[in-house]
Amino acid sequence: MVNAHDLLWGMTPAHVPADAPAWVLDVISAGHPVVVRRAIAEPGHVAVGVRGRLREQRFAAVMPVTAVRRRVVPEALCGVISPRDLPALRALDQLRPVLAKENWGVTGSAGFELASGIEVLHAQSDLDLILRTPQRLDRGDAEDLLAILDTAVCVVDMQLQTLFGAVALREWAGPSRRVLLKTSGGAHLVLDPWQAVA
């Protein structure tokens, strides 16, 4: 079973729709991984996103599960050390000890680069992290964690992955009663991200 933010290798140009931009074919032909996205796909398929060199180059597609040759999960990237010196990677070094006892992983550009070796990070890149939280995280604890993340040398965006979807730590630590829970069926404003959406 694959989860949002997993990186998958094995997609080929044959899996790309005919109306896809040329850059999508270039990226797939080069053997770049695709990232699992939160969306419902037909049985036997997985919803994925293709990323290009530019921030605006993002393309939604589906990939047959049988085509998957390799899978890297965000948790597998926690200990990967990069030789590059960039704020997002320095922030990751800084936060590893803080998160050592947690079930967490690296996503976004940093995760993509650490998993693939393809240089996509730049000096202004944020660090995207995911924290697996099957049990409810108290909002006070969320505030404390956010305060630590905000001491990092770049902006850190952490998603809390519950059994029912994902919510931004920054939102859960904030004052709003309702928060946005991202699920494979769409986004929902909820009071409690640890409860199934009605």
Tell me the pLDDT tens digit for each residue of 70-117.
999 999 999 999 999 999 999 999 999 999 999 999 999 999 999 999
Residue 184's pLDDT is 87
Could you report the per-residue pLDDT of 122-160, keeping only the tens digit for each?
999 999 999 999 999 999 999 999 999 999 999 999 999
Beta bridge partners of 129: 106, 158
Residue 53's pLDDT is 82
**Residue ending a domain, choose from 57, 72, 87:** 72
Residue 138: which domain range? 74-190
Is 141 among the catalytic positions?
A: no
Q: Say if residue 198's pLDDT is above 80.
A: no
Q: With 0-12 CB in 10 A as exposed, 13-18 as middle and 19+ as buried, what is 135?
A: exposed
Could you report the per-residue pLDDT of 165-195, keeping only the tens digit for each?
999 999 999 999 999 999 988 999 999 999 9
Beta bridge partners of 190: 179
135 belongs to a structural domain: yes
Q: Are residues 173 and 90 in the same domain?
A: yes
Beta bridge partners of 159: 130, 168
Report pTM. Answer: 0.93
Q: Are residues 63 and 144 in the same domain?
A: no
Query: What domain count does the chain have?
Result: 2
Residue 21's pLDDT is 94
Q: Are residues 109 and 93 in the same domain?
A: yes
172-196 burial by CB neighbour count: b if 16+ within 10 A, else e? bbeeeeebbbbbeeeebebeebbee
Q: Are residues 18 and 106 in the same domain?
A: no
Q: Are residues 65 and 78 in the same domain?
A: no
195 belongs to a structural domain: no
Is 26 among the catalytic positions?
A: no
Catalytic residue among 128, 141, 150, 157: 128
Q: Are residues 133 and 177 in the same domain?
A: yes
User: Tokens 């992955």 label which residue?
Assistant: 161
Catalytic residue among 19, 26, 93, 126: 126
- Residue closest to 93 by CA, chosen among 112, 105, 103, 78: 78
Q: Are residues 182 and 85 in the same domain?
A: yes
Q: Are residues 81 and 110 in the same domain?
A: yes
Structure tokens that stand for 180 in this block: 């946005």
129 belongs to a structural domain: yes
**Residue ending a domain, choose from 24, 44, 72:** 72
Could you report the per-residue pLDDT of 27-65, keeping only the tens digit for each?
999 999 999 999 999 999 999 999 988 778 999 999 999
